[in-house]
Structure 1
Amino acid sequence: MSKIISVFGSARLSEDSVYYKECFSLCDKLAKLGYGIKTGGGGGIMQAANKAAYLNNVESIGINIKLPHEQKLNEYCTKSYLFTDLSLRKQELLKDVQAVIVCAGGYGTLDELFEILTLSQTKLKTMKIILFNKEFFSPLIDFFKNTLLKHNLIDNESLKIFTLCDNEEEVLKYLHL
């Protein structure tokens, strides 16, 4: 099995966004360690991740979706697949990956994150899930703790199925790289 990490994040962020730059730098380090990158194949965060893989000559996979707007395959994918069904696309994004890194994103990224969290309680128990950027994700984790946990809608174990990392070193340490 090849070493692949799936990266999720917004298609809407430009190359000058701090989130784009952080994602590129992290994926550049992962690619230098021989990890291929799998994304949704679009722009923004997905482009940053695929570009880092492409420039390091490792697998750069785009799992694209046919949408009325936004989703055009970025030029840095060395392999791509086109889906018309979001559910099947999400399954493919998780197939044969060693870890999932979720970066800044909107509703689509949050949809993917929540599905991954739900699946990790049942099917993906060994999947490493990283939320990347404490400033971005801390309010969401506060909601998990202060609302969901407080009202017994999740348990303490549900807070242990992911980790929050703020920099590349934390990600590499968590992945034991």
Structure 2
Amino acid sequence: MEPEIIVTVFGSSRPREGDADYEEARTLGRALGKHGFAVCSGGYGGVMEAVSRGAKEAGGKTYGVTAEFFKAAKLNPWIDVEVRKKTWEERLFELVRMAHGFVACKGGTGTLVELAVVWEMLNKSVMTRKPFAVIGDFWLPILDRVREVELGHPAPWGEANGRLVHVAASPGDAADHLVKNLKQK
């Protein structure tokens, strides 16, 4: 049996079933599950629910990292294993720690923080190199602006000379990027 490979997916809690962002995340979950990845998310609604649902529909395993901090939020029904943390910060770093790779979907300030933390940890080699994809062009303006500062700079950082974040055209492209970097080594 292959060792479990976990992909953490970040995204907004706002989308509902039938919304384009929800269905995109559900498609991503299905693609990840089909490729044998376990899916980890923040465990609540929106993108977190959709990606977990898609993974379960494809026969995959799901993890939800929740926090006591979010008292009103409920665990989505597609989670197999809840990992409960006390604080927002503990939850964030557990989402990062558990993962072998990452995908960021469209999101708000929480997703922006998650994207920035993972990108910085990769950039400064705080963690080993792990594949990271964003879906579509939503995050592209931020990536491009930061890269203007980083690229070509005489520094040892990873983003100074390469691309640490893959911009995926679709959920399938994001899944293929993870397969290429995690399963075809």
Q: TM-score scaled by structure 2?
A: 0.83
* CA deviation vs aligned residue, 1:124-159 (integer Å, no higher than 9, x gap): 24111111112x11221232245x348x6x998426
Q: Distance in 2 between matches of 1:19 and 1:165?
A: 15
Q: Distance in 2 between matches of 1:172 and 1:62?
A: 19
Contact 1:8–1:46, Cα closer than 8 Å, also in 2: yes
Q: Report what 2:42 is aligned to.
A: 40
Q: Distance in 1 between matches of 2:118 and 2:72?
A: 23
Query: 2:59 pairs with 54, 57, 60, which one?
Result: 57
User: Closer, same or farther in 2 for the Cα pair 1:51/1:172, shift >3 Å?
Assistant: closer
Contact 2:6–2:40, Cα closer than 8 Å, also in 1: yes
The 10-residue stretch of structure 1 (41-50 or 166-175) with the greater mean CA deviation from structure 2: 166-175
| Runs of 4+, deviation exceeding 6 Å | none
SS of the counterpart of 1:37?
strand
Query: 2:126 pairs with 101, 106, 123, which one?
Result: 123
Q: Report what 1:170 is aligned to.
A: 173
**Shift in Å, 1:8:** 0.4
Contact 2:11–2:47, Cα closer than 8 Å, also in 1: yes
**Shift in Å, 1:84:** 2.2
Contact 2:30–2:56, Cα closer than 8 Å, also in 1: no
Aligned runs of 1:82-101 on 2, under 5 Å?
A: 82-101=84-103
Q: Report what 1:107 is aligned to.
A: 109
Identity of aligned residues (%): 23
SS of the counterpart of 1:5?
strand
User: Closer, same or farther in 2 for the Cα pair 1:166/1:91, shift >3 Å?
Assistant: same
SS of the counterpart of 1:12?
coil
Contact 1:11–1:70, Cα closer than 8 Å, also in 2: no
* Alignment gaps of 5+ in structure 2: none
What residue identity is the alignment partner of 2:12? S
* Alignment gaps of 5+ in structure 1: none
CA-based RMSD: 2.5
Residue correspondences, number = 175
Q: Distance in 2 between matches of 1:66 and 1:17?
A: 28
Q: TM-score scaled by structure 1?
A: 0.86
**Shift in Å, 1:68:** 5.0
